[in-house]
Amino acid sequence: MKFYLFSLLWLSSHIAFSQIKSRVVDSETKKGIPYVNIWVENQNIGTTSDKNGDFVLHTNDSSIVIIFSSIGYAATRMLVETIKYEVILHPEPGQLEEILVTSEKKERIVGGFKKRKINSYFACYSLP
């Protein structure tokens, strides 16, 4: 009897807390995407894929939405139930704005000091 009770409690704890183990891959090359941000929508639960694209996410609900995002790929939202062995992300090219770097010298005075009769400025002697 004790064995059945222990087995029932053990199985119910594993059903309540499940984990998702999968891999994030590129849709064109089928290679793993490293360091993808993975989190549960509207919750503070998340993880990051490793250098091969593999990840494990611990969750307690099978009807939640998981969001996958990475630089250079379109963000993807999926239900936990639909995640199988691989999560496929599609490349999304982005265009950055041009930045012009020049070598101009500009002098700016920030909070100038007024000349005082007292020449004691603590540890800097006569300089402010």
Q: Percent of the chain scored above 90 by pLDDT?
A: 36
Confidence at residue 93, expressed as pLDDT on a 0 to 100 scale? 85
Note whether 85 and 53 are within 8 A (CB): no
Range of lowest pLDDT (5-9, 27-31, 63-67): 5-9
Task: Say if strands 54-59 and 18-26 run parallel, antiparallel, or are unpaired.
Answer: antiparallel
Task: Identify the residue with better confidence: 11 or 102.
Answer: 102
Q: Show the beta-strand stretches assigned E in the chain.
A: 18-26, 37-40, 46-48, 54-59, 65-69, 76-79, 86-89
Say if strands 86-89 and 18-26 run parallel, antiparallel, or are unpaired: parallel
Paired strand residues for 87: 24
Q: Indicate the CATH number of 17-89 among 3.40.50.10490, 3.40.50.300, 2.60.40.1120, 2.70.70.10.
A: 2.60.40.1120
Paired tokens of 96: 């950055």
User: In the chain, where are the structural domains located?
Assistant: 17-89
Q: Which tens digit of pLDDT belongs to each residue from 47-81?
A: 999 999 999 988 877 778 999 999 999 999 999 88
How sure is the predictor about 114, in pLDDT bands with cuts at 50, 70 and 90? low
Whether this model's pTM surpasses 0.85: no
